[in-house]
Structure 1
Amino acid sequence: MTDVLLIWPPHVPSYFNAGHHSPLYMVAGHLRRRPGAGRVDTCEAGTLSMNWKGVGDLLYQGRYDVIAVMNDFDAVDGLARFAEYARVLSPHSRLITFGRLSSLNPGYFRQFDLDAVVQSGDYECGVAHYVNGLAESGPETAPVAGLPGVAVRHGKNWIEPGGPGDRLAPEEWSLPDVDEIPYQDYDRFYAKDEHKFCGIPFRRELVVPAARGCPVGCEFCEVPEIFGLRERRMTVDAVIDYIRDSYARHPFEYVAFYAPTFTLDRRWVRELCERFIEGPVSPQWKCATTIHHLGEELVALMGRAGCVRISVGLETLEAEGQGGLPRNKRIEEERFRTLAQWCDAAGIELNAFVIVGLPGTSVEGTARTVEFARSLGARIRPTMYTPFHEMTGDMTTHQVARFNRQLISGEPVLGEAGDNGSGDDGTDGDGTARRPEADARYAFLFGREDRLTSVHERIPQQDPR
């Protein structure tokens, strides 16, 4: 038997979305279903509730055969330190990493003291291939190699994957075990709506990972490259069963559907809504989708079925900035106004994703997009344009951390190659001033926010159990 620890190392998150954390628990569930599986533990040390002493205790006492480290766009500032702790306190353990960043920029992780990197396919498949390979070959043999979607280190060299990573059918997914998720920590992140995180403040969220993959193909989105252009979606029955079971075990107050384009399959959404209306499972819920995949009748049905928030990728209303968007993402003001009217009539909060710095857009145009959406009552969730395709494997941790949808990725990093302290990077040499355009962009993300959501008032509170 192989004992496995799945861990998110300590770091200060730049952003929090509980849906992005669900893979940690889905990979754990998948490994537990393996024939002859050993102990599989999870640890979210990235929710600001654990210190390095606690991590050290876990590593030293756990004696895990494999430690699978989850990564994300900017959750890498503690990776080198974690690897050092693991090598010192659990020297017999093999280290493998998986996550969004290693799927987009796998070469970056080869600078760390790791044994393997999942770089394509579903995370569950990559980690399971490696764990199974070790179990079959034995810990003292040469490292397993030729695995689908997994690069393996051998000495100072890396052995490339044996082919692209595998993908699971929805019925093979292991949904997160709600008994092991630190919801009290999640609640703290969502409590301040001025941070513009996806969750609803003052109410506990159950994430339901309903679908993977998306055919829309936005070039600034990681979903198609990681999970494919073809959508894979759970059955309505499976969704209902998971919600019913989870609500029976914990005091959840609303459901967050984690799906790239929730209303891509309108027939599926109608069936789900009808089931919610019929009961007995009738939660309040939210989702994210595109404006193109919504209609007046569907929005009205969603409202009757308990939907309290719809998030859409508005991105920009500037014509000059829409040329790089897929055709069905090029939205005119009147179309957005119509959607806002539908949502208002259905009692649904409209949440608009706006991209700051999108090629072809201006600061003034972004301001007009934001103000127009707000004039219709929409909540705004801004992010910085992030060209993931520009990342390279030889980047430093500071450079990679710029690709976090909050910082401008193209600006030089102070103290690194290309910065001579002369102000060429947009500062006066000591970092005390920024270029006016950059400062104006940052104002959208980090300026004071006084328009806070009230959607939690539509969601009844549960008595804690």
Structure 2
Amino acid sequence: MGKIVDEPRKILVIWPPQVLSYFNAGHHLALYQVTGHLRAVYPGAQVTAIDASVERLTWKDLGSRLFQERYDVIAVMNEFDGIDGLRRLVSYARALNPDAPIVTFGRLSGVNPRFFERFDIDAIVENGDFESGVVAAIEAFRDRAADAAGVHLRRDGSWAAPQRRGDLLPAEDWYLPTPDEIPYGHYDALYFDDANKFCGIPRRRELVVPAARGCPVGCSYCEVPLIYTRKERRLTVERTLQYIEESFAAAPFEYVAFYAPTFTLDKKWMEELCRELTGRGSPYPWKCATTVHHLSEGMIRSMGAAGCVRISVGLETLDPQEGALLPRAKQKSAVDLDRLSAWCKESGIELNCFVIVGLPGTTIEGAERTIEAVQERGGRARPTVYAPWELAGPDLLDHEMAAFNRQLFVPGTHALTDEELARGYDIVFGSQPDVTQVFENIPARAAGPALRPA
């Protein structure tokens, strides 16, 4: 372990340099929420957030910062596709900022924490909120006798698993970043080509609003219950709207992206949100992600009136035999899709359907049929490859772990023929005919106060 810190004076929160396989601004939001939380917990500290992948930093840029700033603690965010630069980042930190303990947090350590024991780091956040996990690690760095809820600690050359789950923060304690903290200009460029099937809407700038954490649906391939539990926590409608209003007044955002595992889970909350937005004249176009099960005709009508322009749903598959592999709430048919697509069309909402290619027990042909059904109904399909997390053990090599990025079929975990593999990859990487035009429904705004430059 690096030097045990007293009250930290300088903390670095960083996403390592890498070529991203996928971009979703909501997934990167935790970097800035952790940063803001640390500033509140350690008010005398200088806490810096760097998304080196998005900001296109070179290793020289990063090395210079590590050497000149000499951070007291380094918190590294990990992701499903975010380990490529981790080993190199750690080597730079150990050479240029050697006294700083290193803790990693993120979605990948939430499903495979012991994989990170091979790296020369000092703590691994497994579960609980990322903010509380990083704080627990820092306090353990300060007191070698302290336990750290939800955090694996390395002491005297060996690793100790946490004795209890990580802490969950009340929603009122979540930090909501200000627009100038986030490199939104870079986000615009990443979303520009909609054929990549990233989650953002091209040609318009989104404000990400972290509305909820936790989900009771219980999909086996989802990390949310493992990290945040199956109990949902949610911002109040009042704070949600206040954040949107303040952010739109401060910078030239053009639509809102609500970031929540199942956005329409709480019906009363949705009714209040739609009522408040409609009462204000529906000034903010917005999008969200949820399940088919948690939508109704009346709710969609209210959402459309309140400014909703896109609903994304975890459709996954339409094949009845395949659907049995999914949680009951996800087992939907073509009839359900017919209803949902009709409701969305009537309300002027684009329907975006997540489809899983390679789900156990399914076929490539089934995935092709599901996507065709979505497109025939005027929807947009976003395919990803199934990642069998139950097979992602701690002994995987870096390149083996990198294959679980939801874009590649993991070698040795499927029985697909070469022809089926080629068809599967054509679904994900081939021509995408159903690119969005929904930006035409979102008014463009004149440039306002400057955001972080691209």
Query: What TM-score do you get using the length of structure 2 for normalisation?
Result: 0.94
Instruction: Give the conservation status (yes or no) of the 8 Å contact 1:240–1:281.
Output: no
CA distance in 2, matches of 1:251, 1:144: 49
Counting only pairs closer than 5 Å after superposition, residues 31-46 of structure 1 correspond to structure 2 as: 31-46=38-53
Partner residue in 1 for 2:418 = 435
Of 22-31 and 402-411, more deviation after overlay is shown by 402-411
Alpha-carbon distance change, 307 to 354 in structure 1, aligned in 2, over 3 angstroms? same
The secondary structure found in structure 2 opposite 1:33 is helix
Offset of 1:410 from its aligned partner? Answer: 3.8
Range with bigger deviation, 357-366 or 248-257 = 357-366
Instruction: Give, in angstroms, the shift of residue 388 of structure 1.
Output: 1.4
Q: Distance in 2 between matches of 1:128 and 1:155?
A: 21
8 Å contact 1:145–1:161 — kept in the other structure? no
1:456 to 439, 450, 453: 439
SS of equivalent to 1:263: coil
**Distance between the aligned counterparts of 2:63 and 2:115, measured in 1?**
25
Matched residue type, 1:125? S
Pair 1:303-2:304 in alignment: yes
Which stretch of structure 1 is more off in the superposition, 275-284 or 307-316? 275-284
Instruction: Please list the CA deviations of residues 108-161 of structure 1 after superposition, one character each: whole Å capped at 9, or x if unmatched.
Output: 0000010111111111001011223434x4xxxxx4542111111113211222
> SS state of the match for residue 18, structure 2?
coil
Q: What is the deviation of 1:35?
A: 4.9
Please say if residues 94 and 115 of structure 1, whose CA atoms lie closer than 8 Å, have aligned partners that are also in contact: yes
1:160 is the counterpart of 2:143: no
Q: State how far apart, in whole Å, the 2-side matches of 1:316 and 1:285 are.
A: 26
Which piece of structure 1 moves more, 28-37 or 308-317? 28-37
Partner of 2:20: 13
2:347 aligned residue: 346
DSSP-derived class of the 1:14 partner: coil
List gaps (5 residues or longer) in structure 1.
Answer: 138-142, 413-423, 427-433
Q: Is the 8 A contact 2:24 2:198 kept in 1?
A: yes
Identity percentage of aligned residues: 50
For 1:50-77, what per-residue CA distance to the aligned partner results, in whole angstroms no more than 9, with x for missing partners? Answer: 1111111111111110000000011101
In structure 2, list runs of 5 or more residues that go unmatched.
Answer: 1-6, 449-454
Q: Which AA in structure 2 matches 1:445?
A: V
Amino acid across the alignment from 2:88? R
Deviations 1:169-221 (A, max 9, x none): 10111112321101111111100000000000000010000000000001111
1:38-437 superposed matches below 5 A: 38-47=45-54, 49-135=56-142, 137=143, 143=144, 145-279=146-280, 282-411=283-412, 435-437=418-420
**For the residues of structure 1 that align with 2:180 and 2:145, how far apart are their CA atoms?**
33
Letter in 2 for 1:464: A
Q: How far apart in 2 are the matches of 1:281 and 1:335?
A: 28
CA separation in 2, counterparts of 1:152 and 1:298?
Answer: 46
Q: Find the aligned partners of 2:412 and 2:446 in 1 and give their Cα distance.
A: 49
One-letter code of the match for 1:447? G
Distance apart, 1:37 and its partner CA: 3.8
Q: Offset at 1:224?
A: 1.0
Shift, 1:425, TM fit: 11
SS of alignment partner, residue 264 of structure 2: helix
- The match for 1:415 is none
In structure 2, distance between residues paired with 1:37 and 1:287: 37
Q: Distance in 2 between matches of 1:249 and 1:207?
A: 14
Could you tell me how far 1:437 is from its partner in structure 2? 1.1
Distance 1:144 1:306, change over 3 A: farther
CA deviations on 1:309-349 (whole Å, 9 max, x unpaired) are 00001111111211111112111111111110000000000
Residues 61 and 375 (structure 1 numbering): CA distance in 2 closer, same or farther, change over 3 Å?
A: same
Aligned residues: 441
Q: Which runs of 4+ in 1 moved over 6 A?
A: none
Letter in 2 for 1:182: P
> When the two structures are superposed, what TM-score results if normalisation uses the length of structure 1?
0.92
Give the conservation status (yes or no) of the 8 Å contact 2:140–2:147: no
Whole-Å Cα distance in 1 between the matches of residues 159 and 78 of structure 2?
19
How far the C-alpha of 1:281 sits from its partner, in A, is 7.0
Rounded to whole Å, the distance in 2 between the matches of 1:446 and 1:203 is 24
For the Cα contact (< 8 Å) 1:150–1:165, is it kept in 2? yes
Report if the CA contact (8 A) 1:29-1:177 is conserved.
no
Distance 1:363 1:278, change over 3 A: same
CA distance in 1, matches of 2:132, 2:48: 17
SS of 2:132's equivalent in the other structure is: helix
Amino acid at match of 2:325: G
Give, in angstroms, the shift of residue 29 of structure 1: 0.9
Q: Residues of 1 paired with 2:284 and 2:221: CA distance?
A: 32
Question: Match of 1:243, SS?
Answer: helix
- The farther-off stretch of 190-199 and 166-175 is 166-175
Q: Deviations over 1:393-437 (max 9, x none)?
A: 11111111111111112448xxxxxxxxxxx999xxxxxxx8111
Structure 1 position 48, deviation (Å): 5.3
How far, CA to CA, are the matches of 1:207 and 1:63 in structure 2?
Answer: 32
